Chains A and B, each alone.
Chain A
Amino acid sequence: MLKVVNLTVNGMKKQIAADERECLTDVLRDQLGLKSVKKGCEVGECGACAVLLDGKTINSCIYPAVLADGHEIVTVEGLNQNGALHPVQEAFIEYAAVQCGFCTPGMVLAGVELYNSGKHYTREEIQEHIAGHLCRCTGYVSIIDAIFSLVGKE
């Protein structure tokens, strides 16, 4: 059955009709054109589909779209709407934390969450924080370096 879902996506209020059986990934990609939300496993094991829900990363592939009603969603498309890159995006470029780019949107959002917390983190804490985002290209080192450059503490 279709249900009306009201949500804020990348700062814009949206009203959409979502099938109850649909996951948030599909609604974001197919209805709202947010193709940065990737599909790698569809069961919450890779993190490619991660989005910020009320500022926190969740796996949108195992999140029913109808439960997003009333929530605020941010994807990487929403990070640099004024033209300037978000500091986390800049750091990813600077530290060569991007290779194939498929895990990148989810990884960037994981970094944004830490950045927005206003706190500082050890390398181990950053590693733990991004452990639900699988990357097969970089070996994670450059990604951790990029995030650490913004929120790190020894």
Chain B
Amino acid sequence: MGIKQPVKRQDAYAKVTGRARFVEDLLPAGALVGYIVHSTVANGFVKSIDTMEAEASEGVVKILTCFDVPHILHSTAGHAHSLNPEFADIADRLMLESHVRQYGDNIAVIVADSKLSAEAAEKKLKITYEAASPVLDTENAVNTAPLHGDVFDGNAFAQFNFTIHNDKLTDIGTASMKGNWEAVQTAAIPLGAERITEDFELVPVHACHIENPVCFAYMEGEQITVVTATQVPHTVCRIVANVAQHPISKVHVIKPYVGGSFGNKQDLSYEPLAAYLTKQLGGRCVCFFMSREESFVNSRTRHGMKIHLESVFKGMDIIGRYAFMDSDQGAYSAHGHSIAINAITDYAYIYPSEWCIADTRSVYTNKPTASAMRGYGIPQIVFAVESHMDDLAIRAGVDPIELRLKNMVRGGYIDPFNGNVCRSYGLPECISKGMELIGWKEKRTAYPQDNCGTLRRGVGMAMFIYPTGLAPFSLESSACRIVLTQDGGATVHVGATELGQGSDTAFAQIAAEVLKIPQEKVLTVARQDTDSTPYDNGAYASRQTFVTGRAVKQTAEMLCNKILRAAARRFGTELEELCLTESGVKRKDGGELLATLSDIAMHSLFCIEDSEQLSAESTACVHDNAYSFGTCFADIEVDVSLGKISINQLVLVHDSGTIINPQIAESQVMGGAVMGMGYALTEEMLFDPETGRMYNNNLLDYKIPTAADIPEIRAEFVETYEPKGPFGNKSLGEPPVLAVAPAIRNALLHATGIGINRLPMKPEILIREFVRAGLIERRS
């Protein structure tokens, strides 16, 4: 019972029996199909759409084009509302666009009785474009016509630059800090120091949750109901109300079971359009079920980035660090620059040096829109930084772990951006445990001795620091309501969403722990409905057990109090004399059982004189952050002649504070490890340079790992106690993906002497580098 136990997921039964209902399973019979017409150019303008013939096509109910929708610029980012307009998400898109900014942009919608009817009608549309060449990389984009001229003058729409000197933020703004960095070179660097400069490239990748983004909307009276696969139901509600021009009190959003998300469903997809259309169609139900092909192009991606790193070091000491991060935003801003900001602040945290200077920019291009995906910019920077560390170690002639130990962040570290303090710190243990489990010392020495043939082995590692939620920079708010049920159990209502990560079970554990109710009698309501679900920012930033968990804990404590007060009233005693135990309410002295919780609930609810439902509700507003740490160690074998990497073993060691549910936590780490492996080796979104069309938007050509690809994986925890977490816990959802790719990259470096500074490390690139380095002969 309660926390720290391998409690079985509360939704496991519903899911193994196929009874768990996802969005598409709830679609009313006879719903109309919303079918998006996508542009066949990536950059330009729709000049005209002749719908006459298409409208007459069989089964077509309505066609709306980009010329028909209201001009309401909005953002699709699933962030809480910002009372300060300066920090609001960038409103840069419409429901349908005549200004086309990516191949497959949404230019019209056909509402029909079936997808087949809509497809037939689409062929009858006559569309003319004024098209320009697509601009697919940031360097070109900064010099070409602005893609969002009505919002920004240029495509480099945001910068976040800073200078940190001895852990103090000395300069911050949008102007380049490169001058500061050069000044440091001439004035502040000791004699004999060396500079190492490297460039890294990360391509866009996709979350590939198995359930595509799906939603539908209908009206009952004046009320619009939107059923959607989302991480952020309350935010969806707010944006839908705004864009569909409907009072927010008359919009409600239902989030049933969600088939995976990883950040992608923290953005809205077609919910506003579905709501707008149902209004246009007298409340008839309209659904939008993205196909897999659309999901790649029309939902969100992980940002492609180019990262330039420089470090100045002397011996084992890193004296100064400089980063330039060029973030490819794609067509629309979505989460905007916050991803680059998250990444670059993490850059500052991990190896605090005398000087840390960084420039970042986010740039619009004609690619699919990048936004939140597990790790929020940090997988990219961790790949660059951790690769850089191994290269630096070689230059300095030192062991890469020694170098890290010498320069890494320590407990008690004070965040230079916001003063938040690192209060729990298990990084050194994550390193030592990982070293031991992978057999680091032996393999680092032994492997190179046999690495002369085509098969070569190597071990490598990487590490990370990761925040928990968005505080103190942004609002962290979670509300919770807990109701004592008639059988003496509890029902927990939260607005933070279960996506597969296991948060509902963790909340039930926290409530059970506080209320001392047997675990099986505590249930977190799995389906959110914004009409009845307490407010929560939603599921993102690995925040739920930290922020929502606090709301659950404090609400459970309030309910305890109410239960005791009800018992005191009934038994004519003082609240202070009573306590809650696993069997019910007892007297503190003597331990006499006064009543079970069921008794209390029944008597309270059905008391003729003074009926009261025993429930509690509260909001947690969290202002603190907590840093999680972890390492990944990889043992790999490379077939040099074939350019193939096979992974023998991955070891991941995490400090996520106290682990609320060890079994679910381990499963989360395994999943992240494999996602990281895909990022390292096989996953990339490829685009036709001529048209901007994505080549591989299907699950055969976009290669997420299969069960046949996974190595032995070991997940371990170093449990620390985070004083600001409800039970000593801190983030875990995203971190497992962070250090895998650089660990594999560094193992490759160990095995072959070749460092690949680009992901994915695909055979073609390996072969090219092996040939260049003379490891194999050129054959063509």
Contact = CB atoms under 8 A, between A and B. Distances in A.
Interface of A: 21, 29, 34-43, 45-46, 48, 75-77, 79-80, 85, 89, 92-94, 96-105, 108, 126-128, 130-144
Interface stretch (B12-20, B47-55, B279-287): B12-20
Given A46-B210, A93-B9, A138-B671, A100 B698 contact: no
Contacts of B763: none
A96 B212 contact: no
A7 B383 CA distance: 53
B17 A77 contact: yes
A59 to B, nearest CB: 12
Contact of B12 (A35, A93, A133, A135): A93
Contacts, number: 173
Given A80-B17, A100-B259, A101-B20, A131 B706 contact: yes
Contacts of B698: 41, 43, 45
Q: Which residue of B13, B16, B501 has the most chain A CB atoms within 10 A of its CB atom?
A: B16
Interface of B: 6, 8-9, 11-22, 24-25, 116, 207-212, 257-262, 289, 291-292, 499-502, 663-664, 666-668, 670-675, 698-700, 704-710, 713
Given A85-B17, A97-B667, 20 more contacts: A21-B116, A38-B211, A43-B700, A48-B210, A77-B18, A92-B12, A93-B9, A93-B13, A96-B12, A101-B257, A101-B500, A104-B18, A128-B708, A132-B706, A134-B208, A136-B704, A138-B670, A138-B671, A139-B670, A142-B667
- Looking at A41, A94, A97, the one whose CB has the most chain B CB atoms below 10 A away is A41
Contacts of A43: 292, 698, 700
A38 B210 contact: yes
A98 B16 contact: yes
Chain B interface main SS type? loop
A41 B699 contact: yes
A39 to B, nearest CB: 7
B682 to A, nearest CB: 13
A102 B17 contact: no
Contacts of A105: 18
A76 B491 CA distance: 28
A46 B707 CA distance: 12
Contact of A100 (B18, B211, B292, B709): B211
A20 B663 CA distance: 46
Contacts of B707: 126-128, 130-131, 133, 135, 140, 143-144
A151 B617 CA distance: 48
18 contacts: A21-B116, A38-B211, A40-B292, A45-B700, A98-B11, A98-B15, A98-B16, A99-B260, A99-B501, A101-B15, A102-B211, A126-B707, A128-B707, A131-B706, A134-B699, A136-B262, A140-B674, A140-B710
B544 to A, nearest CB: 14
Contact of A134 (B25, B210, B667): B210
A145 to B, nearest CB: 10
Contacts of A100: 209-211, 257-261, 499-500
A36 to B, nearest CB: 2
Contacts of B664: 96
B262 A141 contact: no
A122 B211 CA distance: 30
Nearest to A35: B25
Contacts of B11: 98, 101
A109 to B, nearest CB: 10
Nearest to B650: A139
Contacts of A135: 210, 707
B675 A139 contact: yes
> Which among A76, A98, A130, A138 has the highest number of chain B CB atoms within 10 Å?
A98
B210 A40 contact: yes
Query: Taking each of B210, B674, B708, which has the highest tally of chain A beta carbons within 10 Å of its own beta carbon?
Result: B210
B672 A139 contact: yes
B667 A138 contact: yes
Q: Which of B210, B670, B707 has the most chain A CB atoms inside 10 A of its CB?
A: B707
Nearest to B259: A102
Nearest to A75: B18
B16 A136 contact: no
Contacts of B700: 43, 45
B309 to A, nearest CB: 30
